[in-house]
A and B are shown apart, each in its own frame.
Chain A
Amino acid sequence: MNSTTADETERAGTPAVFLDDVRKTYFVGEPVHALDGVTLEIPKGSYTAVMGPSGSGKSTLMNLVGCLDSPTEGRIDIDGEDVTAASNRRRTTVRGKSVGFVFQTFNLMPRLTALENVALPLVFRGLSAGERRERARDLLERVGLGDRMDHRPSELSGGQRQRVAIARALVNDPAILLADEPTGNLDTETGAKILDLFDELHAEGNTILMVTHERYVAEHAERIVHLLDGTIERIEELEGGEEDGRQETESGQGEGTE
């Protein structure tokens, strides 16, 4: 197991996330294989989208990569650390340190200001108030909310809330940014701006894993992993597909066409 002082040069070669034949089985009466042998490597600095219909295992994959859950079988490495059989406490530490979550419903703390929301992960890592403020302020400015730091979530628009959530996800400088339908609760225009922000973050070297069922959203990524019934159906590599890829949705409903 790598310690936090592990050789950085060695680390640069390790993938942000590595899944090896991962299975997750739920027992609700009879066993349900939510993930049935998934092997996936997410290199550092990559931008990956995961698509698939409901029940294909997208959420389970997110939970496993986000260290919210443990696999039934297989092996998961996050930032070079094997978390397959890690204790609850260890998984929480890895989650706080190496994973940044962006949710469809933003999931901000309603009583905290934007600045405090962004600084929240640092609280649990025991950073001083001064360090927290400074880091949170920088990130809020980075996402374009320098003038909204002392606003509560209820005083912010949907797009602004998602920007706060993205700033929060970045605050620990995570190995991977996990975005679960980040534009699902936003109108098309606002969603497009958020996707532009993700593109910028990717360009700055962040590793992004985004779950979506909108094709035009997925096409911002470098590659699309298609999940079906708990297995990887195919991996689609996109070349320069980050622009104007909005012709159709995965489910063929045709929404979002402009």
Chain B
Amino acid sequence: MKPVQSLRMSWRAIRGHRLRSTLTTLGVIIGVAAVITFVTLGASLQEDILVEVGSEEASNIYVWVGPEDTNQGGPGFGAEPVFTSADVAGIDDLDSVENAIPYTIWLTENVQYRDQSVTRQEALRVTDPSYVADEEFADGGPYDPGENEAVLTPSAAAMFATNVTVGDTITVTTVGGPVDLEVVGILATDDSLSPTESFSTSPRIYTSPEDVGASRFLFLIVDAGDPTAVDRAREDTLAYLNDESEASGSLPSNYGFQLQTAEELLGQLEEILDLLTGFVSGIALISLVVGAIGIANIMLVSVTERTREIGIMKAVGAQNRDVLQLFLTEAVILGLIGAILGTGLGAVVGYAAIEFIGIDAYVFPTFWAGIAILVGILVGVVAGLYPAWDAARTDPIDALRYE
């Protein structure tokens, strides 16, 4: 029998029992949808971060000091403010480094605007103006160093009863006492600007080290200028830090310099996502097994119900393999429908989840969708094999007598 013909006949048999067929595929639908949802979520999150961090900052190296022999915690885990302005200047002068800037959280007791004081310890971020220079501004622009100017994130501008606007002055109280800063720019979004901000979207005020008297920094952000130059810049920076830097003198015991490229940071994230995907896939596998059992079960019922039809087909010349093909096709169609509907459902649920969480990117995992279709076919074959074989070996004499 030609495959097209068995496809048509099987499809008709499935359509003859719409509700039953739908319920049968439910197991596969749920399994596939679960995987597609989470893979969509993972891939979109990755893409989102990649766009935010990776593309323009692929040549960046993030440097901090942290406990040695630890890969946990991500960038800045256990970081201590040890880097000095001299270190920044020293690394900036290295041949393989295009630019090196400091970054630190400069603790504040409070932030004042007009007569209102807001207690914020970690709002003040001290770094070079180039850190914010390339960002999109809702209003104004980057600050100039030494001019007592600041750039605010939208949420920082909205911290007070009255919104802070460009040209206003805010007062930050640090260990060195209150400092007045003129707001010269407000960023377009609260998104974190680099991995040093741990992807947080909390209110932040950017200003230059000179204005608040900051002399020790948590991070160095080293730009190699070109992604291909990252490895050399990294080696040179590490050598400088170990041999010449002031930071090496004030390194806490058991602490070492941690240098990570944007790529490595993404790698860490990928690992976590892969772990999550693996976990979800495990659950989905169980669902698929249940789905396969469901299909096998309904196929067995179907074979029994259609014993007489099998007898008729054999009487008019259907070979065993024709009957096998017919029932196997039916099981595969059920599995395939489950996989296709599951993929669609997963894509929709994944999209809804992304909208709900607020991830900017949406990546449909084409590769996994392909896998899902293959799995659907496989489930159909596995589930249909025994029932189809059972149907194929039916004795036509008995089958024709079957009531």
Contact = CB atoms under 8 A, between A and B. Distances in A.
Interface string B358-377: 00000000000000000000
Contact of A89 (B13, B315, B319): B319
Interface residues of A, number: 27
A216 B9 CA distance: 40
Contact of B400 (A96, A107, A172): A107
Interface in A133-185: 168, 172
A112 B322 CA distance: 17
Nearest to A121: B316
Contact of A95 (B2, B308, B315): B315
Contact of B317 (A88, A97, A108, A112): A97
Given A63-B397, A111-B16, A123-B1, A92 B313 contact: no
A168 B317 contact: no
A109 interface: yes
B16 A101 contact: no
B12 interface: yes
Interface in B352-403: 396-397, 400
B312 A95 contact: no
B129 to A, nearest CB: 75
B280 interface: no
Contacts of A86: none
Contacts of A107: 308, 311-312, 315, 400
B108 interface: no
B234 interface: no
Interface string A111-124: 11000000011011
Contacts, number: 62
B313 A120 contact: yes
B319 A126 contact: no
B176 to A, nearest CB: 87
Contacts of A96: 316-318
A63 B397 CA distance: 7
A37 to B, nearest CB: 22
A126 B315 contact: no
Contacts of A172: 317
B321 to A, nearest CB: 9
A124 B315 contact: no
A124 B313 contact: yes
A143 B9 CA distance: 25
A109 B320 contact: no
Given A107-B311, A126-B2, A95 B317 contact: yes
Contact of A68 (B5, B13, B315, B322): B315
A121 B312 CA distance: 10
29 contacts: A63-B397, A66-B315, A68-B315, A68-B397, A92-B317, A92-B319, A92-B320, A95-B315, A95-B317, A96-B318, A97-B317, A101-B315, A101-B316, A103-B400, A107-B400, A109-B309, A109-B313, A111-B12, A111-B13, A112-B12, A120-B313, A121-B316, A123-B2, A123-B5, A124-B1, A124-B313, A124-B317, A124-B319, A125-B317
The 6 lowest CB-CB distance pairs between A and B, nearest first, are A96-B317, A121-B316, A124-B317, A124-B318, A107-B312, A101-B315
Given A92-B318, A110-B309, A123-B5, 10 more contacts: A93-B317, A95-B314, A107-B312, A107-B315, A109-B309, A111-B16, A112-B12, A123-B1, A124-B1, A126-B2
